[in-house]
Structure 1
Amino acid sequence: MTNDKSISILNDVLETLVDSRDGYEKAAEVADRDTFKQFFSRRAASRNGMVTKAQAEIRHLGGEPVDEGTILAKAHRMFLSISAAVQDNDEAAVEAVDDGEEHLRNKVGDAIANDELSPTAKTMLQSFNGELRADGRLIDHLEASV
């Protein structure tokens, strides 16, 4: 196991964490209900905390963390803005974050399962995993309410 492989795996997850944070921020902007805006804002702050921890771990391993999300996610946020303009903003916001969160959970799960990931990085991602699963359940409840 080399630090280079762990850094690569973590940077891949980091891109998706940045996407998630930015997606929640955009969802908070387009949502209509204050309760949804608050939920999305809290989730964005939580993802920002994960971003900071992942960046610190990458630096600890001797790497340079990525500072942007993916191009695909940027396009998805643009779609969210357009979609929100033509339909129920709450529904558009919930659908967008639901898709993104499933992708993030899969990305984190794959990283945890990778034997080339350093033990400290694996422990960090496992700590994220519980919150990601809980968020998925909360989003399911939001979906039912829109």
Structure 2
Amino acid sequence: MTKTATTLNGLVQALNDGIDFYEHAARQTTNTAYQDLFLKMSRLKSMIAADLKAEIAHEGDSPDQDGTWLGSVRKGYADLKATLSKDSDAAYIGSLEEQEDRVLHAFRDALGGDQPPKVRELATRYLPEVQQMHDRMRALKKAKAA
């Protein structure tokens, strides 16, 4: 597997973790505004992941279709926190914001000078959207805490 495909697969896995987590959180909340937001975030991540998967396939490699085991653990931990919390939505939002931190960090790492040019190009293209998703969840987390 090329370095480009390996790095892009890492980004795809981080995105897939977020896709699954947002869809799960949308099913868990009864707040329709949160359901809509969570599903929108999932769709945005899916579109980015699809473009990255296309580039991986163009490289002649197989794109990852799943997230990581750590993403599954985080989702389970969020379920536990939500069960024990007075405000389950706040628990999910906090955990989703942490997931956004992970995705943002992965995209910023992909901008590094030692990354292949195609990786840097795609990370640069999608970093503004990734940053916006991160900022949206951070603002929602702060609003819930206030």
- TM value normalised by structure 2: 0.90
Alignment check: 8 A CA contact 2:78 2:92 kept: yes
Once residues 100 and 11 of structure 2 are traced to their aligned partners in structure 1, the CA distance between those partners, rounded to angstroms, is: 12
Does the alignment pair 1:103 with 2:102? yes
Alignment check: 8 A CA contact 1:27 1:40 kept: yes
Shift of 1:6: 0.7
Once residues 139 and 6 of structure 2 are traced to their aligned partners in structure 1, the CA distance between those partners, rounded to angstroms, is: 34
Shift of 1:114: 4.2
2:63 maps to which residue? 65
Letter of the 2:49 counterpart = V
Does the alignment pair 1:25 with 2:23? yes
| Secondary structure of the structure 1 residue equivalent to 2:67 | coil
Q: Deviations over 1:17-60 (max 9, x none)?
A: 11111111122122232111111110001111111111101001
Shift of 1:90: 1.1
Alignment check: 8 A CA contact 1:57 1:121 kept: no
- TM value normalised by structure 1: 0.90
Flag structure 1 segments of 5+ consecutive residues without an equivalent: none
Q: Deviations over 1:95-118 (max 9, x none)?
A: 11110110111111111214332x
1:36 maps to which residue? 34
Name which structure has the greater RCO, CA cutoff 8 Å, separation 6+.
1
Once residues 18 and 136 of structure 1 are traced to their aligned partners in structure 2, the CA distance between those partners, rounded to angstroms, is: 15
Cα root mean square deviation, aligned = 1.5
Flag structure 2 segments of 5+ consecutive residues without an equivalent: none
